[in-house]
């Protein structure tokens, strides 16, 4: 399921209990509370109107009376009732909670462990495996707690952040949007005022965070930008390497954030890849030997050639055969 569909599903599941608790609320008020536009809310209501229990006859579907002036749920199809979990479902939920609680910023660890304890207590008499051993609730790092609080308060944050690709620490002010999980790492998704774009900040690389006394104001399009969840989005501010990849090295396109530009008659592939520093990129490319050649930019070609020649000289000085050729 795409991230956009997943967000919409979560919103639809939360809408019925919310609307039941606020009968007659206007579309504008509900949209502001749910963090969407009025147009998106009306689209969600039309979608929700066609949801319900298996059978999907008129008596099984959620029924709503809605306009931009007033929204009311006339039949909830039982969606607001508490879930009755089977032991298998409860065990799966425990596994998920235990996994996510280890990810900084994803949940409040105290609340998550309280939920784990309640679920374990509820299924203690079933076949589910419950250790019964006391669990020490991990102390949330101050930086993580600050970011989560700023997100809840919709406040801007000043971050001191280590960028691994650039190998540098920078300070920037961001407008938090949400916390996301990508490739088993948790990130703050935020509008970076310095870069003027949506960026992902990995929690374990945030060295310091300060909640500012000013509201977060990410552009309206920022939260809906699904491409912003891509760790290697095509940022025009980052240099682009043009590469020629030998046919038998085509696998690197699947292993690295490269995009295909064109295929050549000899079977080789021309591709592009963004990089932060020429030094880092040169080290990466030399690892491919003659399988990947650099076409540009000139400063990267020079960096790769200089490193390759230095390596060949070191081999020669040691009386060893050199296996690396200049690009």
Residue 191, judged by CB atoms within 10 A of its CB (0-12, 13-18, 19+), counts as buried
Partners of 159 in the beta sheet? 172, 209
Greater confidence, 322 or 114? 114
What's the predicted TM-score (pTM) here?
Answer: 0.46
The kind and range of the H/E element at 89 are: helix 87-100
Is the same domain home to 23 and 98?
A: no
Instruction: Say whether both 199 and 275 belong to one domain.
Output: no
Cα 146 from Cα 232, distance rounded (Å): 26
Shared domain for 151 and 129, answered yes or no, is no
Residue 58: CA atoms inside 13 Å, Cβ hemisphere, count?
Answer: 0
- Express each pLDDT in 251-278 by its tens digit: 888 878 788 889 999 999 999 988 767 8
| 65 & 126 share domain | no
The per-residue pLDDT for 10 is 75
Tokens standing for 185? 């790492």
* Residue in 170, 174, 230 with CA at minimum distance from that of residue 197: 174
Distance CA 4, CA 8 (A): 6
End-to-end CA distance of the chain: 42
**Whole-angstrom Cα distance, residue 160 to residue 84?**
44
The answer to whether residues 130 and 148 belong to one domain is no
Residues 256 and 193 in one domain: no
Q: How far apart are CA 283 and CA 280, in angstroms?
A: 5
What is the percentage of the chain residues whose pLDDT exceeds 90? 19
Task: List the CATH number of the domain containing 67.
Answer: 1.10.10.10
Supply the range of the domain harboring residue 262: 240-317
Cβ atoms of residues 278 and 299 within 8 Å = yes
Least confident interval from 54-58, 298-302, 317-321: 54-58
The Cα 119–Cα 112 span in angstroms is: 11
Alpha carbon distance 147, 142 (integer Å): 9
Is residue 149 domain-resident? yes
Contact 30, 22 (CB under 8 A): yes
Contact in structure between 71 and 27 (CB atoms under 8 Å) = yes
pLDDT given for residue 129 in this prediction: 46
Is 316's pLDDT higher than 90?
no
Q: Are residues 130 and 159 in the same domain?
A: no
SS3 per-residue string spanning 179-236: EEEECCEEEEEEEECCCCEEEEEEHHHEEEEEEEEEECCCCCCCCCCHHHHCCCCCCC
| Same domain (yes/no): 131, 154 | no
Whether 80 is covered by a domain: the verdict is no
- Mean pLDDT (the chain) is 80
The residue-averaged pLDDT of 318-324 equals 62
User: DSSP labels for 38-62?
Assistant: HHHHHHHHHHHTT-BSTT--TTTB-
The kind and range of the H/E element at 163 are strand 155-163
CATH of the domain at 210: 2.30.30
């Amino acid at each position: 399921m795409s991230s956009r569909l997943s967000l919409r599903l979560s919103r639809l599941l939360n809408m019925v209990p919310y609307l039941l608790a606020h009968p007659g609320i206007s579309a504008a008020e509900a949209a502001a509370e749910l963090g969407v536009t009025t147009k998106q809310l009306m689209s969600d209501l039309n979608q929700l109107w066609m949801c319900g229990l298996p059978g999907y006859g008129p008596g099984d579907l959620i029924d709503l009376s809605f306009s931009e002036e007033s929204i009311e749920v006339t039949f909830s199809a039982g969606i607001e009732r508490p879930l009755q979990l089977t032991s298998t479902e409860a065990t799966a939920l425990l596994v998920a909670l235990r996994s996510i609680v280890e990810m900084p910023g994803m949940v409040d660890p105290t609340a998550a462990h309280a939920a784990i304890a309640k679920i374990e207590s509820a299924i203690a008499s079933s076949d589910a495996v419950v250790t019964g051993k006391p669990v020490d609730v991990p102390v949330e790092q101050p930086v993580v707690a600050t970011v989560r609080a700023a997100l809840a308060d919709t406040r801007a944050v000043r971050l001191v952040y280590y960028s691994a690709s650039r190998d540098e620490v920078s300070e920037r002010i961001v407008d938090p949007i949400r916390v996301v999980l990508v490739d088993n790492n948790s990130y703050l998704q935020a509008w970076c005022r310095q870069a003027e774009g949506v960026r992902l900040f990995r929690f374990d690389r945030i060295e310091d965070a300060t909640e500012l006394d000013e509201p977060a104001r990410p552009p309206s399009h920022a939260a809906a930008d699904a491409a912003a969840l891509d760790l290697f989005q095509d940022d025009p501010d980052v240099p682009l390497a043009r590469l020629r990849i030998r046919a038998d090295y085509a696998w690197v396109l699947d292993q690295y954030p490269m995009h295909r530009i064109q295929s050549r008659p000899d079977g080789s592939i021309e591709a592009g890849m963004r990089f932060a520093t020429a030094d880092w990129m040169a080290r990466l490319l030399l690892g491919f030997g003659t399988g990947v050649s650099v076409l540009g930019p000139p400063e990267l070609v020079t960096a790769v050639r200089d490193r390759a020649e230095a390596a060949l000289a070191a081999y020669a000085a040691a009386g060893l055969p050199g296996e690396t050729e200049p690009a």
